[in-house]
Amino acid sequence: MKKIIRSLCWFVEMPEITGVSDQLNKIETKLSKQDYLVQTKRVCFNKTRIEALDRLEKQNALYLSIGTLTFSSLTEQLADFLHAGNVSLNLDLTDGVTTNHVDVLLRIIKEAPAKTFNFTYTFHNRPSSPFFPSATFEHPGFAIGLQPTDLAEGCPDLPAWLSAMEAVWLEICEILDDNQHFLGIDTSIAPLFRDESSLVHFVKRLYGNFSEAVTTDFFIRVTTFLFKHNPKPVGLCGLMLPCLEDFELAEEYEAGRFSIERNIFLALHSGLGVDTYPIGIDENPERILQVLCLLQKLSAKYEKPLSARFVSDGKTKIGAVSDFQNPYLKDVMIWPL
């Protein structure tokens, strides 16, 4: 089995990472001895400013996040965010959505479109998820997020994959049981690229096509298992549907089989929201507002964490092929929302 840890993330109170990098390296070494591959090491801060994180990012090979901001705090620091390096954040819209919130996204698209990858709207967000940009601070310590799709390689059916995931969760807890800073595992399904790393690849292997699987109980069975069998749960623990990061899902989108409606349907019963979903620079702002308002109300109605991460290359209109120049995003022909 390919045991891949997508994110090893430390949560700290203040913008100071002295010792944190060493701690992350020690944890990585310990996991590597048990054949785990750590893809990224990250740090999420609390009560700090984007400007301070930008300086730290330039000095360290770590992914950094400022966590969750209010609208007023983000507005005050938006210029810094647009010019910052690899710094992520999310904007809390749990209490409601206005045109001003849409304007934030439109400004990012206009002035620094690559930063749309580092920005998401959140609703009823859960703390301590190691996945960016949804991560937000609650307690000091570290959390782990996996790329569990790779564990499905060679699995003949869903129960075999679920069993493989549970074995890995238990092993990680055994490895890190003596570390008092270990917050837990975010068992969210985080797919990437294609073949064994793609969730859609596994779905098609079981059902023949993605569309048929959408109206089965497959996704509910997965997310129910994530909640019931996680030995040390933390964070979101749901199904991620990153439209452009799962390259085979991106192909479904381009073929017209992953509309925003289908995305929201899956997110409502099993997923975590709208993730790396492409929008054209000529998308109607009113339409973006409608989608955000729906997500906010669905999140409130079902007391469920949801998010919305729209991405743009800052130049491609609806009906044209994107040019993200980002290895984690597949270029596609963009549909209207």
pLDDT tens digits for 119-154?
999 999 999 999 999 999 999 999 999 999 999 999
Which residue, chain included where needed, has tokens 């973006």? 288
C-alpha R_g of the chain = 19
**Rama region for 47: left / alpha / beta (φ>0; ψ in -120 to 50; rest):** left
Report whether pLDDT(18) > 90.
Answer: no
Q: Which residues contact 217 (CB under 8 A, 6 or more apart)?
A: none
Instruction: Please report, for the chain, the start and end positions of each structural domain, with discontinuous segments joined by +.
Output: 3-311
Distance CA 63, CA 80 (A): 17
* Dist CA 143 CA 8 (whole Å): 6
- Pairing assessment for the beta strands 141-146 and 119-123 based on DSSP bridges: unpaired
Q: May I ask the CATH class of domain 3-311? A: alpha beta
pLDDT of 225 reads: 97
Is the pLDDT assigned to residue 298 strictly greater than 90?
Answer: yes
Query: Band of the pLDDT at 53, cuts 50, 70, 90?
Result: confident
Q: What is the pLDDT of residue 57?
A: 62
Give residue 15's pLDDT.
66
Reading phi first (left if > 0) and then psi (alpha if -120 to 50, else beta), residue 315 is in alpha
Q: Tens digits of per-residue pLDDT, 260-289?
A: 999 999 999 999 999 999 999 999 999 999
Stretch 159-181: mean pLDDT: 96
- pLDDT value of position 17: 67
Report residue 59's pLDDT band, with 50, 70 and 90 as the boundaries. Answer: low
Give percent above pLDDT 90 in the chain. Answer: 90
pLDDT tens digits for range 149-160: 999 999 999 999
pLDDT (mean) for 177-181: 93
Neighbours of 139 (CB within 10 A): 13
Average pLDDT estimate for 183-189: 97
Question: What's the rounded Cα separation, in Å, for the pair 215 and 315?
Answer: 35
Residue predicted with more confidence, 85 or 296? 296
Listing DSSP states for 37-106 in one string gives: EEEEEEEEESS--HHHHHHHHHHSSSEEEEEEE-HHHHHHHHHHHHH-SSEEEEEE-TT---HHHHHHHH
Instruction: Give me the pLDDT at residue 158, please.
Output: 97
Q: Would you state the pLDDT for residue 19?
A: 82
Closest-CA residue to 297 (of 153, 143, 95): 95
Query: Which residue intervals of the chain are DSSP H helices?
Result: 20-32, 50-59, 71-83, 99-111, 158-176, 199-207, 210-214, 218-229, 247-254, 260-269, 285-302
The answer on pLDDT for 54 being more than 90 is no
Give pLDDT, residue 262: 97
Return the structure tokens found at 136: 């937000």
**Residue 85 banded pLDDT, cuts 50, 70, 90:** confident
Helix (H, G, I), strand (E, B) or coil at 336: coil
Which pLDDT score is estimated for 173?
97
Statement: residue 329 has pLDDT above 80: yes
Q: What is the mean pLDDT of the chain?
A: 95
Please determine, for residue 61, whether its predicted confidence score (pLDDT) is greater than 90.
no
Return the pLDDT at 47. Answer: 77
Edge-to-edge strand ranges of the sheet holding 36-45: 182-186, 141-146, 3-12, 36-45, 63-69, 87-92, 119-123, 306-311, 273-278
Residue 331 has pLDDT above 80, yes or no: yes
pLDDT score of 51? 86
